[in-house]
Amino acid sequence: MPYERTPPTGPLLNVSGDLLVIAPRTAAPARPTPTNPYRRLLATPGARAFTAGNLLARLPMGMFSVSAVIMIAGSRGSYALAGAVTATGLAATAVVAPWTARLVDRYGQARIAVPATAIAALGSLALLLCVHYGAPAWTLFASYAATATTPNTGGMSRARWAHLHRGDPAALHTANSFEQAADELCFMLGPALAALLCAALFPEAGTLVGAILLMTGVLIFAAQRATEPPVAPHTTRSGSPLRTPGMPALLAVFLATGAVFGSMEVVTIAHAGGAILALQAAGSCVAGLLYGSLRPVGDIRRRLLGCLAGMTALMSLPLLATASADSLLALAGALLLAGAATAPTMVTGMTLVQRLTPEGQLNEGMTLAVTALLGGIAAGSATGGWLVEHTAPVPGYAAPVCAAGLALAVAAVGVRRR
């Protein structure tokens, strides 16, 4: 008969006959779960480290174009040349960025982001040297075009959140809201920091510091391998995300939304100066954080339509303020309120991009959205500039309202369909 051990029922004695007292095992006290959704989000293991690196890398995104304009215009005395160089960089980014994102999805964030950032940083340094030493104008275009390899750090960060919180829509909603608020903060602080550096130190300081911050931030971000999304097998990829039903219409919405931002920026700078634009970014940042603290309810396509309708209504406030009072104080309040519609719209749109994008292609899908947004900003800037030059501020402020209405119409027709 096999021997079966049974737990002792009497007192335990050691070999010397002394009584042994065994204390009952107690479980370690569990850490309380943070109630604040953002504290709970950042409590995710590894989240704070990759977020710090990503924010450091994202800050220069608001610095480079302003620094380039100040540096080139100050050296060559031509804002037309400075604008043409930055426009070339934007066009190159629209072409190169989706390919960079596709490589990130295929080979991993760390393997692609670091060398791609190194090329972009070298392009910025080459631009700096060409401007400083008076190189021919064509070298400025070539140097700035090389910066198009800059990876979409915001998209990579969102991809990490999607990997860490897959199956948790509430946490992903908070993460997307946090990332949108970070975007607004970086684009609010970046231009001011660039202008300060160029004025206080030397004209090339903004570009130099931006390149250092970008490279350092990406290195910190890429070093956090524990939170990096795994590379999907090649067999799970299904061509470009553009083929996904609903994605072309959603990208058209981003294109029209970008036109809202671009036209509003140019018209406001021409009418009241650039400093007042910080109010719009501040309103968007606060609204994004508040929106992220709420639990999303209802169908996401209906939420997108509601956000776009709200943006269309709020974008009319600067138009009304300029047409009725023409007061800088009234315009400031109108811009603050108009900005409140930006972040919820972008958060909802990016969440829908994540849901429509096939598995293993998330970086490419979000980069396509950002590329469409940049294209819309360029088109809106050109339209707003033409209106300001040939008409008056009131018709200029009609451009963002029309662009927002177009985004709403496209969403109503196309995005709700699979």
The torsion angles phi and psi of 287, rounded to 5 degrees, stand at -65, -35
Amino acid occupying residue 185: L
CA–CA distance, 307 with 314 (Å, rounded to integer): 10
The SS3 call for residue 35 is coil
Site of tokens 């953002």: 38
The per-residue pLDDT for 1 is 46
Q: Which of 262, 281, 278 is nearest to 341 (CA)?
A: 281
> Per-residue pLDDT tens for 182-220?
888 887 788 778 888 888 898 888 899 999 999 999 999
CA–CA distance, 358 with 360 (Å, rounded to integer): 6
Residue 388 CA: distances (Å) to CA of 116, 140, 141, 295: 38, 28, 27, 41
Q: Hey, how many other C-beta atoms are within 10 angstroms of the C-beta on 81?
A: 17
What's the token pair of residue 66? 């302003």
CA–CA distance, 138 with 154 (Å, rounded to integer): 31
Q: Hey, how many other C-beta atoms are within 10 angstroms of the C-beta on 416?
A: 14
* pLDDT < 70 stretches in the chain: 1-34, 233-238, 274, 415-418
- Burial track 101-130 (b if 16+ CB lie within 10 A, e otherwise): bbbbbbebbbebbbebbeebbbbbbbbbeb
The per-residue pLDDT for 32 is 57
Amino acid occupying residue 355: R
Are the beta carbons of 258 and 379 closer than 8 angstroms? Answer: yes
* H or E stretch covering 239: none
Amino acid occupying residue 136: P
For 166-204, the DSSP string reads TT-HHHHHHHHHHHHHHHHHHHHHHHHHHHHHHHHT-TT
Domain annotation for the chain: domains and CATH numbers: 45-231 (1.20.1250.20), 237-418 (1.20.1250.20)
CA–CA distance, 276 with 268 (Å, rounded to integer): 8
Residues pairing with 12 in the sheet: 20
Predicted TM-score (pTM) of the model is 0.80
